[in-house]
Amino acid sequence: MRKKIVAGNWKMNTNLCEAVELAKGIRERLSEVPSNVKLIVAPPFTNIESVEEILSGTPVAVAAQNCADHDKGAYTGEISAKMIASCGCKYVILGHSERRTYYGETSAKIVEKMKLAFAAGLGVILCIGENLDERNAGKHFEVTRKEIEDVLFNFTAEDMANVTVAYEPIWAIGTGVTATSAQAEEIHAHVRKVIASEFGEKVADEMTILYGGSCKPSNAKELFSCPDIDGGLIGGAALKPDDFIAIAKSY
């Protein structure tokens, strides 16, 4: 049985008070979440410790939204994988399209970050996905294949136990336009095949692949009912405990 995950990416939202309130709101409603669904929240760096404290003793794991591509030293403004792990984080999101697009994050950089994340004992949620032009040109299979090859193929089959892939079509992120369950499922199945081609069927079969992009309570059930969709990476709807928990309950 593959792990089912619903992860909330808070992005650059929530000041300290708001993050504390959001974490408490989620904690209060945890009894409603099916036991087979793992919840992860990814607050901004500045809120990680407080959120971790509120959620400690619960099954909710805390993730960072990014980490540095260096181990330590004179990199002003950067936060290392080890620092994140020392605050109690269990995961880090890497390769989000907002980082690739706005901060020039290349696959080579993501590989460096991933090595450091593994060395720090963090699981990685690797985001991939095509933009609207690529989708309209029918290149979505090719783009997602290349993103996986360029990053994951630098690692071993054993490493894959610490990887979760999130397919996030860029045209669906924050736009209110969700991929249809058929559009999402065909890429998820494709991603699984690409992973199988390098690491074997067993690894591919055990890989949790999340969907992200305007996932909300009204569409989560249909998306999560697809055979290759193992949960969601949720942005906007993760900022309200009611919506986040409702999505988790869609399983």
Among 52, 130, 147, 168, which one carries the catalytic annotation?
A: 168
Strand pairing category for 4-9 and 37-42: parallel
Q: Return the residue of 34, 59, 121, 174 that touches ligand PGA, per CB under 6 A.
A: 174
Q: Which is nearer to ligand PGA, 147 or 168 (CB)?
A: 168
How large is the C-alpha radius of gyration of the chain? 17
Does residue 70 have an active-site annotation?
Answer: no
Residue nearest to ligand PGA (CB): 235
Does residue 112 have an active-site annotation?
Answer: no
Supply the minimum distance, in Å, between the C-beta of residue 7 and ligand PGA. 8
Supply the minimum distance, in Å, between the C-beta of residue 236 and ligand PGA. 4
Supply the minimum distance, in Å, between the C-beta of residue 212 and ligand PGA. 4
Spatial CA neighbour of 116 closest among 161, 162, 153:
162
Contact between 239 and 226 (Cβ < 8 Å): no
Among 96, 140, 188, 190, which one carries the catalytic annotation?
A: 96
Longest pairwise C-alpha distance within the chain: 48
Work out whether 128 is an interface residue with ligand PGA (CB under 6 A). no
**Three-class SS state of 61:** strand
Q: Which is nearer to ligand PGA, 26 or 203 (CB)?
A: 26
- CA quadruple 214, 219, 224, 228: dihedral sign: negative
Q: Which is nearer to ligand PGA, 95 or 212 (CB)?
A: 212
Binding mask 146-165 toward ligand PGA (x if CB under 6 A, else -) reads --------------------
**Three-class SS state of 221:** helix
Residues that bind ligand PGA (rule: CB under 6 A) add up to a total of 13
Q: Which two tokens stand for residue 84?
A: 């994140």
Supply the minimum distance, in Å, between the C-beta of residue 76 and ligand PGA. 27
Beta pairing partners, 222: none
Spatial CA neighbour of 100 closest among 76, 137, 70, 130:
130
Supply the minimum distance, in Å, between the C-beta of residue 168 and ligand PGA. 6
Neighbour tally for 1: CB within 10 Å: 6
State the alpha helices, DSSP H only, in the chain: 16-28, 48-55, 81-86, 97-102, 107-119, 132-136, 140-152, 181-199, 201-206, 217-224, 241-248
Q: Which is nearer to ligand PGA, 100 or 199 (CB)?
A: 100
Supply the minimum distance, in Å, between the C-beta of residue 57 and ligand PGA. 27
Q: Give Cβ neighbours of residue 154 (< 8 Å, ≥ 6 apart).
A: 111, 114
Binding mask 203-242 toward ligand PGA (x if CB under 6 A, else -) reads ---------xxxx-----------------xxxxx-----
Binding site for ligand PGA (CB under 6 A): 9, 168, 173-174, 212-215, 233-237
Positions marked active-site: 96, 168
